[in-house]
Amino acid sequence: MNLKYINNIYFIGIGGIGMSALARYFKANKKQVVGYDKTPTEITDALMDLGIDVHFNDAVENIPVDFLKPENTLVVYTPAIPKSHYELSYFRNNQFNVLKRSEVLGLITENTFCLAVAGTHGKTTTSSILGHLLHECDVEVTAFLGGVTENYNSNLILKGTKVSVVEADEFDRSFLTLSPNLACITSMDADHLDVYGEAEALKESFVEFTKRIKSKGKLFVKNGLPIEGITYGIEDDSDYSACNIKVENGTYVFDVKTPKEVLENIQFNLPGRHNLLNALIALAMAVEYGCPHRQLANALASFKGVKRRFTYHIKTDELVFIDDYAHHPEEINAVYQAVREMYPEKKVLAIFQPHLFSRTKDFVDEFAESLSKFDEVVLLDIYPAREKPIEGVTSNWLLGKIHNKNKQLVSKELLLSKIQESEAQVVLTIGAGDIGEEVKNIKKGLSIES
C-alpha cells in the first residue's frame, strides 16, 4: 500500500499512546484524521486541540461521510479493540483497508533509515532518549514514542523523514512488521504470557525479530542476553560500557568505553541503573549512526525524561512524590533501586495498581517479592484493560502474599486520605492502568497538607 495516495486515516483506539503518535504524524502530513476511543483522556484532549475529531460512542453513524469511501480511507486499529466492535466490523465487512498500528508503522518506516528499540522493559525511555539525541544532532528524524517526552511535551518528535526511531513492541508480535537498520534488545524477561503462552515462545519471537534487520544492519544487545550482537552494560567487558560512575547532585557522571575510544564525563539526569542502561544504549546507537560525540554528550545532558517514568511531582526536603509506569516485577525492582539510591534514609510508601488479570496471575509471587521491599505498600484493584476477570485473581490475593506488615488494599475514593495518614517522606504511585489519572489529585492533596 502506498500511503501517499490515502487521504483519510480513521483510528479505532486513537487515545492509545502509540496510536496517538501515528495520528499526530498523519495530521502533520496534511491527512484528514478522525478517531474513536472509549473514554476522554488528556491524550484525546490534546488530539482535539490539534483539530482531530474524536468521538467516544461506538456507532457507525459517527463515521464522517468522507471516511465511507474504501478507496481513499485507511483504518488503523489497536489489538486492544474487541472483535465485536461495531465500527471495526463495519470497515472489515465493506472492503476497507484495515491495518494494525504496527503494520502502519512498518509501512511508514520501511523506506527510512530505521532505528528500532526492542525489549520487555525500557523501550519508551530508550527510544525517547535516542530520538532526542538524533534531533539535537540535527538528524532529519521522526520518532514514534510510547510516552510523552518532557523535552517536547509530545509522543512524536518530527524533524524530517529520512530517519525513524520506533519502539519495537513484542506484544502481539507487533515488532515483526518492522525492518530496522539498527536495532537493540534491552531485555527478554517473561511477559505477555496471555499472548505467548510460555517464556520460550517469547524468546523465539525476539530471535525472529533479529532476522528482520536489514542487510548490513547492526544489532545491539544487553550483555548477558542469549542473542549475539554488539553488547552494552555497566562496568563490564561489553563493547559499550558505562564506567567510573558517580552521582553528583542527583546527576550521573560517567565515562563510556566504546570499541574505539573512551568518552569521558558524560552526564545524565534520570535516576536508577536501569535508566543509565537506557541512556547507554541510546548513546551507542547514535554513535554507530554517526553523530558527533561532543554533540551527543550535550544532548544527553539536556534530556529531561518521559512523563510517568520516575516523574517527580513534589520534590522538597520534607516530601517527595514520584509517579512511574512500572507494571512488571523487574520494573518495580528498578524503581526500588532508583529510589533507594536517591533517598537511602527515607521511608517510602509504594501505591501499586496491578495491570491485567493475566499478568497478575503469571507473576503474583514476583510482584509480592518486589513490593515487599518498600516500607509501606498500598494496593488498588487490578486494572483490567482488555481482559475479563479471572476467578481468584484479585489484588487481595496479591496482598496476602506480600511479606510486609504495613500493607493494605484501598479504593480510589479513600486513596488520598490513606496517603495523608502515612508518615512516609517518599510517595510512589506505580502502574500502567489509570492510576496516572489520580496523580493531580494526590499532588494537590499532599501540597495542601504540607
* Residue 353: partners with Cβ closer than 8 Å, 6 or more residues away: 379, 380, 381, 382, 383, 429, 430, 431, 433, 434, 435
| Domain identity same for 250 and 353 | no
| Domain identity same for 259 and 332 | no
> What's the pLDDT at 158?
96
Residue 55 lies in a domain: yes
Confidence tier at 117 by pLDDT (50, 70, 90): very high
- pLDDT exceeds cutoff 70 at 438: yes
> What's the pLDDT at 368?
97
| Domain identity same for 137 and 74 | no
Domain end marker among 100, 130, 155: 100
| Domain identity same for 287 and 146 | yes
Domain end marker among 48, 66, 100: 100
CATH number of 11's domain: 3.40.50.720
- pLDDT exceeds cutoff 70 at 164: yes
- pLDDT exceeds cutoff 70 at 234: yes
Query: What average pLDDT does this structure show over 274-279?
Result: 94
pTM, full prediction:
0.83
Number of domains in the chain: 3
**Nearest partner of 321 among 420, 408, 403, judged by Cα:** 420
> What's the pLDDT at 322?
94
Query: What average pLDDT does this structure show over 78-94?
Result: 92
Domain end marker among 281, 301, 321: 301
Residue 105 lies in a domain: no
**Domain region containing 16:** 3-100
Residue 56 lies in a domain: yes
| Domain identity same for 151 and 283 | yes
Return the HEC string of the chain: CCHHHCCEEEEECCCCHHHHHHHHHHHHCCCEEEEECCCCCHHHHHHHHCCCEEECCCCHHHCCHHHHCHHHEEEEECCCCCCCCHHHHHHHHCCCEEEEHHHHHHHHHCCCEEEEEECCCCHHHHHHHHHHHHHHCCCCEEEEEEEEECCCCEEEEECCCCEEEEEECCHHHHHHHCCCCEEEECCCCCCCHHHHCCHHHHHHHHHHHHCCCCCCCEEEEECCCCCCCEEEEECCCCCEEEEEEEEECCEEEEEEECCCCEEEEEEECCCCHHHHHHHHHHHHHHHHHCCCHHHHHHHHHCCCCECCCCEEEEECCCCEEEEECCCCHHHHHHHHHHHHHHCCCCCEEEEECCECHHHHHHCHHHHHHHHHCCCEEEECCCECCCCCCCCCCCHHHHHHHCCCCCEEECCHHHHHHHHHHCCCCEEEEECCCHHHHHHHHHHHHHHHHC
Lowest-confidence segment of 2-11, 200-209, 221-230 by average pLDDT: 200-209
| Domain identity same for 128 and 227 | yes
Residue 306 lies in a domain: no
| Domain identity same for 88 and 33 | yes
| Domain identity same for 21 and 149 | no
pLDDT tens-digit readout, 181-196: 999 999 887 565 556 5
| Domain identity same for 44 and 188 | no
Mean pLDDT of the chain: 93
Residue 404 lies in a domain: yes
| Domain identity same for 296 and 329 | no
Confidence tier at 173 by pLDDT (50, 70, 90): confident
| Domain identity same for 279 and 322 | no
pLDDT tens-digit readout, 127-146: 999 999 999 999 999 999 99
CATH number of 343's domain: 3.90.190.20
CATH number of 120's domain: 3.40.1190.10
pLDDT tens-digit readout, 38-61: 989 889 999 999 999 999 999 999
pLDDT tens-digit readout, 333-383: 989 988 998 898 899 999 999 999 999 999 999 999 999 999 999 999 999
| Domain identity same for 232 and 347 | no
